[in-house]
């Protein structure tokens, strides 16, 4: 049984989601939080496997709550429940450790599948959200791109991926956003590490941030 915590300030919506998930026979809803602070508290008390986290809530929002939960409990999976208009929060949630995103118009069957997939370690990224992430990653100044190309000899695609690494994207999120296979994304990232002379993601991010700032 997968233990799920819901965090949403709209009680009617949260009750509806609880009914949908409970009907699956494979998911147990262990609590409902009405804001981010309560989500952190319930996460500590109930130790859920997956947290379905709304972004816009009073007090502590879902982005801050996600960051705090992942800091305390790195093994917990947080799936952000979002509307199409919440794109300004998406990169912040990624940096905070979210495992993926669901749009609020997701069907019941897709919601149940997404919870199962997140529990299994997959990244949940609907096509609309993936496009927003890719667009946000491209909204960088040409000056940053030029500096990376000049200093490290990166190709256009490598620069795109390098900047996503700087923004905190995981390999799976990079692959999903740019429509690459996981293997192709890993190959690009390995090539970037070689050109930067580093051996890890943290080293790569640090070297690049020094170069472009």
The C-alpha angle 71, 75, 60, rounded to 5 degrees, equals 40
7 forms beta bridges with: 33, 53
* Maximum Cα interatomic distance, the chain, rounded to a whole number of Å: 56
So what's the pLDDT on residue 90?
Answer: 72
Nearest to 171, CA basis, from 127, 209, 204: 204
- This prediction's pTM: 0.63
* CATH of segment(s) 2-126: 3.40.50.2300
So what's the pLDDT on residue 140?
Answer: 47
So what's the pLDDT on residue 200?
Answer: 93
DSSP state of 170: -
Alpha carbon distance 32, 29 (integer Å): 8
Kindly give the pairing relationship between strand 100-103 and strand 77-82: parallel
So what's the pLDDT on residue 138?
Answer: 60
Domains 2-126 and 140-212 alike in fold? no
Residue 105 in 3-state DSSP?
coil
So what's the pLDDT on residue 142?
Answer: 58
So what's the pLDDT on residue 102?
Answer: 87
140-212: CATH topology: Arc Repressor Mutant, subunit A (1.10.10)
- List the chain pLDDT tens, one digit each, 213 residues: 999 999 999 999 899 999 999 999 999 999 999 999 999 999 999 999 999 999 888 888 888 899 899 999 999 999 998 876 666 677 777 777 888 888 888 899 999 999 999 999 988 877 777 776 666 656 544 577 878 888 999 988 898 899 889 878 888 888 888 889 999 999 999 999 999 999 999 999 999 988 877
Q: What is the domain partition of the chain in residue ranges?
A: 2-126, 140-212
So what's the pLDDT on residue 32?
Answer: 96
Alpha carbon distance 173, 151 (integer Å): 26
Phi, psi of 155 (to 5 degrees): -75, 170
Phi-psi region of 4 (alpha: psi -120 to 50; beta: other; left: phi over 0): beta
Element at 169 (helix H, strand E): none
């Amino acid at each position: 049984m997968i233990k799920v915590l819901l965090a949403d300030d709209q009680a009617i919506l949260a009750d509806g989601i609880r009914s949908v998930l409970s009907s699956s026979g494979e998911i147990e809803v262990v609590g409902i939080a009405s804001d981010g602070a309560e989500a952190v508290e319930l996460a500590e008390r109930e130790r859920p496997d997956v947290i379905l986290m709304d972004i816009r809530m009073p007090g502590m929002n879902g982005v801050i709550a996600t960051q705090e939960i992942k800091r305390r409990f790195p093994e917990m999976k947080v799936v952000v429940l979002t509307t199409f208009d919440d794109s300004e929060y998406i990169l912040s949630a990624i940096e905070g450790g979210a495992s993926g995103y669901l749009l609020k118009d997701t069907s019941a069957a897709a919601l149940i599948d997404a919870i199962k997939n997140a529990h299994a370690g997959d990244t949940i990224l609907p096509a609309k959200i993936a496009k927003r992430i890719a667009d946000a990653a491209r909204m960088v100044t040409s000056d940053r791109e030029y500096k990376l190309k000049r200093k490290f000899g990166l190709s256009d695609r490598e620069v795109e991926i390098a900047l996503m690494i700087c923004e905190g994207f995981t390999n799976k999120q990079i692959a999903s956003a740019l429509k690459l296979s996981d293997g192709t994304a890993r190959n690009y990232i390995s090539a970037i590490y070689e050109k930067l002379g580093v051996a890890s993601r943290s080293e790569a991010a640090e070297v690049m941030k020094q170069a472009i700032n």
